[in-house]
Amino acid sequence: MMMVNKTKAWKKLAEHYKHIKNVEMRDLFDADDNRAAKFTLKLDNLIFDYSKNRITERTIKHLLRLAQDTGVPEKIQAMFRGDKINFTENRAVLHTALRNRINTPVLVDGKNVMPEINAVLAKMKKFSEAVRLGKFTGHTGKKLTNIVNIGIGGSDLGPVMAVEALRKYWAKGMNCYFISNIDGTACAEVLNKIDPETTLFIVSSKTFTTIETLTNARTCRKWLVDALGEPAVAKHFIAISTNKKEVEKFGINPENMFEFWDFVGGRYSMWSAIGMSIALVTGMNNFEKMLDGAFSVDKHFRETDLEHNIPVMMALLGIWYNNFFNIKRYAVIPYDQYLQYFPAYLQQLDMESNGKFVDADGKVVTYSTGPVLFGGAGTNVQHSFFQLIHQGTDIVPCDFIIPAISHNEIGNHHEILIANVLAQGEALMRGKTEKEAAAELAKAGKSKDEIKLLKRYKSFTGNRPSNTFLVKKVDAYTLGQLVALYEHKVFVQGIIWNINSYDQMGVELGKQLALNILPELSNNATGIRHDCSTSQLIETIKKMRK
C-alpha cells in the first residue's frame, strides 16, 4: 500500500494547509453566525462542538477524502465483522462484541462468540449481586464490603477510571481500592486501610503470569492467610483470567474465575469481566448501562456517514493538527471531578495504540503517528498547565468535557465551573490583541508607561483549537459513550496512518531486560553484560541496600 503521505488526498491537504495556516478563527466566526451549527454533531444527549478549530468546509471536504482513500469505511466494517485486523498477532478485535446489546451473531473463525460473552455477563451479574446482597460472604461469614482490584495496564486503568467516574452510584458502605504498581508502597497503603474479614480481592490477569499483578496478589494472599488461615483464600479471592490451572494453584475456586478472550485487548478490556469491580461497587445495572452507552456509539460509528460521524471527525481533526500543523500533542480536560482519571485512561488508549513507527507493510513510516496526550480535571489544571496552553510557544489542541448538570448541585459551584470551561474555549479561540490589552489597561487607570510595559505580556495570540463535548450528566450511559468515542477515534487514526492500533510490542523490551537484572540484584547471577551505566547503577544499588 502507498504510504498515506504520498496519496493525492494528502497532497491536496498539504496544499490547502498553506492557504489556511494563517487564517484567524475569530475572523471565521465573525464572518459566519452559523458556524457553530455547521460544525456541531449530536448523539442522544451528547453534543460535539468542533467549530473552534482552524478549519473551513473545504478543510473538512479534503479530510473526508483522505478517510475515503485510506479505506476507513471498509475497515470499520472489517472490525465489526470479526476480521483479524490485529495482523501482527493474528487476532480479531472485538471489544465491540462485549457490548453488542442486540445480540446479533459475531463470528470468530466461524464461531458465534455471543453465547460465551452472554454467559460471562450472566455469571458476573449473579456473583456481583450475591456479594452486594451478602449472600456470598467472607471466610468468617461477614459481608464483603472492601473490593480490591489487583491488575496493571488495561486491567487497572479502565476499572479505576470508571469506578471513580461513577462514584455517586457506589453501594452504601462499600469501598473500592486498586493495586497496580509493583512498588510495595502501593500494596502496603491499601492493606493498611482494609479488614481481611470484609475484603474481596480481584486478581485480573489474562495469563495469570503478569509479574507485577502476581507479585502483588501473592503479597495480599500472604496477608490474608496470616490473618484468617489458608482456607480463607477461596472465599476472599476471585480471578479474571483464562489460565484455570494457575488460578486453582493459587487457591482460587475455579467457579469464581471469570474469563475473557484473545480478541479483547488489555486497554479495551473494561467491557469484559475485567469490569467486575465496576459491577460490584456500582451494581451490574450500571455496568450494563455503560455497555448500552458504548453500544450506541458503536451503532453510530458503524452506520453513520463519515461527515456526521463523531469518532471519524475527532480522528480527522487530530490528523489535521498532528500531520499538517506539526502539533504532536493534545490535552483532554474534563470539567467534572468524577472524571479526574479519564485523561490517564486515554493516555494508554491513545499512546499504546498508535505509538508506532512501522506500518502495516513492515515499512518505517515517514510521517508522525501517535501524539502525546495529557490532561486533568478543570478547574485545577487552569492553575497548572493552562499558562502554557494560552501563552506558550507551542499550540496544544484541547478537548473539553462538561456536564450540564452536576451530581452535586451545591450553591452556584456548577455555574462557575461551566462559566470557566466555556471561557477557556472562547479565550483560546479569540485571544487578545495588544491593542485590546492596552485598552483594558487604560480603562483600569494604568499610566502610558505601564501600558507600554504590560500590553504585550497581557496579550494572547489566540487561534488555538479546541473541541467541546457537552453531556447532560456523567452517568454510566454517558461514560460508556465517551470511552467508545475515543476508542473509535484512535482506530480511525490508525487506519489512516496504516498502522496496527491493537498490539503493544513497545512495552516488552523493558520487561525482558528487567527479568535479566532481577537476579543480579539478589546476587544470584553473574556474567550478564550491560552498558557501563547500568552495571554501575546495579552495583551501587546493591551496596546501598546492604
SS3 147: strand
Which of 199, 157, 158 lies closest to 181, judged by CA? Answer: 157
Count of other CB atoms within 10 angstroms of residue 301: 24
SS3 128: helix
Classify residue 33 by burial, with Cβ atoms within 10 Å: 0-12, 13-18, 19+.
Answer: exposed
Q: Which residues contact 297 (CB under 8 A, 6 or more apart)?
A: 43, 310, 311, 480, 481, 484, 485, 488
Question: Measured between alpha carbons, how far is 267 from 504 in angstroms, rounded to an integer?
Answer: 10
Catalytic residues: 352, 383, 511
Question: Measured between alpha carbons, how far is 53 from 39 in angstroms, rounded to an integer?
Answer: 9
Longest dimension (CA), the chain: 81
Phi, psi at 56, each rounded to 5°: -130, 180
Axis-axis angle for helices 310-323, 284-303 (nearest 10): 70
Axis-axis angle for helices 184-191, 211-228 (nearest 10): 30
* β pairing state of 175-179 and 146-150: parallel
Question: Measured between alpha carbons, how far is 322 from 370 in angstroms, rounded to an integer?
Answer: 8
Phi, psi at 346, each rounded to 5°: -70, -25
Rounded alpha-carbon distances, angstroms, from residue 401 to 97, 317, 519: 27, 17, 47
> Is there a contact between 287 and 279 (Cβ–Cβ < 8 Å)?
yes
Strand-pair partners of 201: 148, 237
Question: Measured between alpha carbons, how far is 486 from 345 in angstroms, rounded to an integer?
Answer: 11
The cell numbers describing 4, all together, are 498515506
Residue entry with cell 501517535: 370
Which of 147, 393, 120 lies closest to 241, judged by CA? Answer: 120
> DSSP readout, 436-464?
HHHHHHHHTT--HHHHHHHTTTT-B----
Question: Measured between alpha carbons, how far is 494 from 320 in angstroms, rounded to an integer?
Answer: 14
Phi, psi at 370, each rounded to 5°: -55, 130
Question: Measured between alpha carbons, how far is 376 from 23 in angstroms, rounded to an integer?
Answer: 30
Element (H, E) at 329: strand 329-334
**Nearest 10 degrees: Cα torsion 38, 43, 44, 46:** -80
Rounded alpha-carbon distances, angstroms, from residue 233 to 152, 188, 453: 21, 19, 70
